[in-house]
Structure 1
Amino acid sequence: MQIKTYRAQFIRELSSIYDEGEAESFFYLILEEKKQLRRIDLALQPDLVFSEADLQVWNSILEQLKLEIPVQYLLGKTHFYGLEFEVNENVLIPRPETEELVDWIIQENLKIEKFKDLKILDIGTGSGCIAISLAKNLPNAQVFAIDVSEKALATAQKNAEINEVKVTFIHKNILETVDLEQEFDIIVSNPPYVRNLEKQEIKKNVLDHEPHLALFVEDDNALIFYRKIAELARKNLSPNGQLYFEINQYLGKEMVELLENLNFATIELRKDIYGNERMTRSSVQ
């Protein structure tokens, strides 16, 4: 079968679940991964065909996409901040909003990084996307990363090796941690923050397949991770150290109040590219 013919069939069969643009993006992601062909290659060689073996692979992937299994899990990888990351059912798929948080940290600290070695801690690292991207782009920094899931840490370690950076990974339940035991210049976290009441807003492919441990918090204690991490940061950030959070877009006001009540200074609430209040930066005096 000609690839362009299969492409039309692929998009059509997914049209009841995904919009055409998303289904088409899946097709080209898979095409590049499985056949090392790009959109331009197909345009220049419209008579390219799939073999019977190719069709078996593609039909299997198509059926899994119909079950709304994330395409990144099917491919076993994704891209984040220009780097490649292995992903699986043990870790969240990195989001573009988190790239914005990483970029904020890098841009604010590049000039500092040139003059001293930064010590950075990422809490709830998952795939390691934040810690590894920071280690790659702030090469003089010492980067540490914590997660409660040993399986997530194993994936993060692989990703550090793939991207040729050194990150010290630590298995720890942050909610049970009394002290971080050393001082850091930057603490960053993208902890669980989706309230159960917001589950109806979550797409089925996320709700059914990504790890709930990394996503959800109880409605009546939605800031449990932020409060604990901020309390630890008060003790373990260096003078003028910075605390960065990715946050629930509906709880920006509450996050600022929490940081104010814990006597953080220069608190900044920043919107993401979609106009949602999605991240904060604060410092200790």
Structure 2
Amino acid sequence: MDKVRDIFSYFAAAMSIFALLGAVYQAFNDQKGSALTLGTIFLVGALIVFLPQVEFIKTLGVEARLRQTVTEAVATLASVRRLAEISARASYLTIAWGNRLGTPSARDKQSVLDDIDAQLSDLKVTPEERAIIVKPWVAMIKADFFFLYSRVVREFATIKASDLTARIHATQSREAQEASMAHSDLITPWSNQTSKFGAMERLERKSLAAVIDEYMPAKGGWLSEKELATFETFKLELVRLNDNCAKKGGYTPEASDYYDRYKEGQNDKAQAKQLWEASR
């Protein structure tokens, strides 16, 4: 009979974990009904697993006498802690890789993960253990900032090409035509080189600043020295935001607001336009 009860308890625990993961996933896909249902299943499963271990409860858990010995109670707490770590790791992986092209916002994602972090802290998960859990999320934040930067560079290239073409139409001068051809000759090899840049592989091994430097054209390329200086300022801002995120183990409020403001394609164009005007 005890063996049957143990098997049922393990089954209920497993179902609870899957229900929790499903609730997180459905919540981020705006399926509130199914998320609530799965969350309820998780709570019921948790009660089935852990409530039979308590002989009596007084005033909402202020006093409880456990059926297990002290050693068994410690083992149970360790199991709960391990389950929390596994659940947290799964949540970080799901949020890091899920919905990369759309909602929810970086701020909303980080809000959920901050709640999970609070639970891990309550369970005395060490900083070293947490660093392993949040590693995929921190890596994706760094990638988010790199791809934001690279999109703005591409938009800037479009603005510059359009400006050179407009000068040809406006002046009909040989100098304008030569400037446009020179720009084309310089940007074409850079475009070919960066089309197979392999940013994710580089970001796994190097800092954000180093990968951005490898992505950018060298001095004397299609960007003038003043334009390169403007992009250097932009890079330092993103590196600062990313470093603060890495220290926290997630988006800071400043970084999430910044990324959410500029992550859309139309805003990439606006930011490139700002950099263009600053470099004139």
| Structure showing greater relative contact order (alpha-carbon pairs closer than 8 Å, 6 or more residues apart) | 2
> Is TM > 0.5 for Structure 1 vs Structure 2?
no
TM-score (norm 1): 0.27
- In proportion to residue count, which structure has more helix? 2
Tell me which protein shows more strand as a share of its residues.
1
